[in-house]
């Protein structure tokens, strides 16, 4: 079975979210193959979950710092995108690995990513119990069933958007983190957060090493073969439209106060 792998250059926050949605739309229409997109951010940016309150974010500080703030299609809580590799996976519900419910699909992807981390000598684990901790505005302070940890620290933050005919999953794999900057973004004075990062546990591993491991693990675990390609003309046109009309608009980004 062939899938598409898009190894994208860095883009701004609004366009990154717009392109993920455009690719998901094309895949669900069967205009494009199931797609794994790997990408970075052209500058430090903040993304917040679909249902998250914008009041969790210090907007004045973000504007002074030049950080774009964008609301994702997927759920979860806030992320500071800086030193990381982001992935998005778009697929249809009738695809063999993903004919189950949300939890089963999430676990399939988590198991695949765990296999990738093991290829770079990181013995990550999947959480097998539900977490009942209080709400926290930072994604990596909340670990729930099916998520990936290393030595008890969450190392990947992922969330999924379900449609009747498919889904989009987005995830952030931290290469490094900056707790001090995060405390300013999230209005959390004295913020201290121990999270798992690639640099912390495998300092010699590069983003290119991580991309290679993800490709190998997806192909082996899901019995697929990737075709390296870029977005189609349909996806690029839709992404530009979504960037302008949706993801860069306050009506979308500030709608939950």
Full domain range(s) for residue 103: 2-253
User: What is the model's pLDDT at position 23?
Assistant: 98
CA nearest neighbour of 116 among 148, 82, 162: 148
Can you give the pLDDT at residue 139? 41
Half-sphere exposure at residue 136, Cβ-oriented, CA atoms within 13 angstroms: 18
- If one counts the domains in the chain, the total is 1
Pairing of the two strands 68-71 and 45-48: parallel
Determine the Cα–Cα distance for residues 98 and 108; give it in Å rounded to an integer.
Answer: 8
| Tens digit of pLDDT at every position of the chain (257 positions) | 999 999 999 999 999 999 999 999 999 999 999 999 999 999 999 999 999 999 999 999 999 999 999 999 999 888 999 999 999 999 999 998 898 788 888 899 999 999 999 999 999 999 875 554 444 444 444 445 578 988 888 889 899 999 999 999 999 999 998 878 888 898 765 445 567 899 999 999 999 999 999 999 999 999 999 999 999 999 999 999 999 999 999 999 998 76
Active site residue 62: no
What pLDDT is attached to residue 131? 53
DSSP β-bridge partners for residue 156:
148, 173
CATH code where residue 156 lies = 3.30.930.10
Question: What is the distance between the alpha carbons of residues 179 and 187, in angstroms, rounded to a whole number?
Answer: 12
Q: What is the pLDDT of residue 114?
A: 96
The single residue of 62, 92, 139, 193 carrying the catalytic annotation is: 139
């Amino acid at each position: 079975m062939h899938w598409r792998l898009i190894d994208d250059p860095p883009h701004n926050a609004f366009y990154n979210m717009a392109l993920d949605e455009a690719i998901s739309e094309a895949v669900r229409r069967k205009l494009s193959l199931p797609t794994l997109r790997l990408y970075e951010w052209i500058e430090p940016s903040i993304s917040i979950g679909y249902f998250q309150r914008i009041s969790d974010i210090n907007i004045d500080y973000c504007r002074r710092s030049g950080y774009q703030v964008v609301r994702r299609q997927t759920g979860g809580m806030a992320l500071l995108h800086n030193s990381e590799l982001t992935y998005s996976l778009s697929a249809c519900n009738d695809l063999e690995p993903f004919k189950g419910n949300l939890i089963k699909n999430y676990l399939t992807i988590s198991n695949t990513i765990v296999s990738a981390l093991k290829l770079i000598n990181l013995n990550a684990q999947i959480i097998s119990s539900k977490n009942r901790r209080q709400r926290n505005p930072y994604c990596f302070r909340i670990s729930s069933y099916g998520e990936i940890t290393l030595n008890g620290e969450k190392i990947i933050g992922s969330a999924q958007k379900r449609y009747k005919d498919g889904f989009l999953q987005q995830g952030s794999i931290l290469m490094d983190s900056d707790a001090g900057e995060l405390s300013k973004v999230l209005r959390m004075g004295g913020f201290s957060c121990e999270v798992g990062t690639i640099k912390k546990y495998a300092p010699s591993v590069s983003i290119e090493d991580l991309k290679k491991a993800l490709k190998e693990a997806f192909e082996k675990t899901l019995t697929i073969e990737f075709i390296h390609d870029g977005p189609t003309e349909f996806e690029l046109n839709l992404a530009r439209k979504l960037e302008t009309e949706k993801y860069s608009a306050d009506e979308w980004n500030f709608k939950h106060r």
